[in-house]
Each structure stands twice: as structure tokens, then as C-alpha cells.
Amino acid sequence: MKIKNLIHPLALAVALALNSTAQAAGDADNLPPIFNGKDFTGWKVPEPNPFWKVVGGVIVGENDEAKKGSMLWTEKLYGDFVIECDARWSGEIDSGIMLRAPELQLQMGISRSLKRDLTGSFYTGGTEKYPEAGQAKDLEKNFKPGDWNHYRLEAKGDTFTVWLNGVQMVKYTNAKYAGAAPIGLQIHPGLAMKVEFRNLRAKSLD
């Protein structure tokens, strides 16, 4: 009887601790939406705006007839953060998610400079536009052409990590990109392109 009384509180304490840990992990990854599926509340929309619209809970970005580019920015600034979204396109595009200051880009689609698909890689805008350490590996094994693909980007300190459809593609370290900035979605100028985003969720880690 005494043994039972000793074991029972110990087992209960372990169970509570495990539950607390699991709950904390779940809470840490509970990303609130940054797009409400209806309009651009919380986003800075360009004026005039022939580029961006909301259709059926999806952000659709498309060039105008002159093939001008455009950016859609969050009103909120993010330093350390996690963002997740689904993105879809067909044919050739050059798009991505912009972050930090100076600007760093998570590439989606064909690089205009290197003429190859660098989806999931980082574009720095510097002399080495797509550093080897920032390039996604095994893209063809994890990317679904023409379909929805799920992206997760974590910016924490000087380290930037990308997952594509649940698989880690790259972990890039660069202390240069340290400043907080809005999160941006891109339409690249110079080519006719259309890109769609849905289920955008993000949370600051600061």
C-alpha cells in the first residue's frame, strides 16, 4: 500500500511534466494568421493596385500589361520570426518572400540572373547573389510543380532556415541581415507571371 502511494504521485508528476512540455511546444508553434482570407487588412497595398487581389481566400499576384513588378508588405515589422504559407504557380515566375534589413529574399521560381529554379534558396542582392550555403538541396525531390507547396521560414538571430513540404532544405547563416523589417511578397518585373499565396501565418520570436 505504501509503495502504491509513493509511485502514484511520482507517475502523476512525470505525466504532468510531459504534458506541460508538449503543450509548451505546441504553443510555441501556434502561428496566428497574417492574412484573413478576405482582404488586405494588415498589409500595405500599392496605389494604384493592378497587381494584387484576393480570390477565394487566396492572395493572387500578377503583373500588369507593362510587366511591372510590385511588392505587398505587411504593416508589422519582424525581426526574429517564423512564417508559414502555401504558394502555387505554373510556368516561369520569379517571386519570393522578403525579410529583414538589409533585404534578404527567400526565392520562389526561376532566378532571372542564374536562369534556373532556385526555389527555397536565399537571394542576398550582393556580389554573390545566391551563396552556395544558402541554396536549397534536392529541390526536385520535394517540390510539386504546379501544385500547392508548403513553406516554413525561421529567421532567428543570424540563422535562416527553410523547410519545403516538411523537409529542411537549407540553413543559412549571415549576420549582415539583422534589422527588423516588414515581410514582403514579390512580383518580379520584366516577365508575365502569376503567383498565389494562402494560409499565411507568422509569429515574432523576439
Could you tell me the residue ranges of all domains in the chain? Answer: 1-30, 34-204
pLDDT tens readout for residues 86-138: 999 999 999 999 999 999 999 999 999 899 999 999 999 989 999 999 999 99
Question: pTM for the whole thing?
Answer: 0.86
pLDDT at 206: 85
Give the dihedral sign, CA 25/198/79/164. Answer: positive
> pLDDT tens for residues 5-51?
444 544 444 344 444 333 333 444 689 999 999 999 999 999 999 99
137 contact partners, CB below 8 Å, separation of at least 6 = 169, 170
Residue-averaged pLDDT of the chain: 89
Percent of the chain having pLDDT more than 70?
86
Distance CA 78, CA 58 (A): 22
Would you state the cell numbers that stand for residue 115, as one nine-digit string? 536562369
CATH number of the domain at 34-204, out of 3.40.50.10210, 2.60.120.560, 3.40.50.300, 3.40.50.10420?
2.60.120.560
Higher pLDDT, 157 or 4: 157
Q: How far is CA 18 from CA 15, 22, 29, in A?
A: 5, 6, 17
pLDDT of 88: 98
pLDDT of residue 201: 98
Give the pLDDT confidence score for residue 13 in this predicted structure.
43
Check residue 27 and give its pLDDT: 43
* Percent of the chain topping pLDDT 90: 83
Q: What's residue 122's pLDDT?
A: 98
* Over residues 149-167, mean pLDDT: 98
Mean pLDDT of the region 148-155: 98
Is residue 153's pLDDT more than 60? yes
Asked whether the beta carbons of 179 and 101 are under 8 A apart, the reply is yes
Residue 148 has pLDDT above 50, yes or no: yes
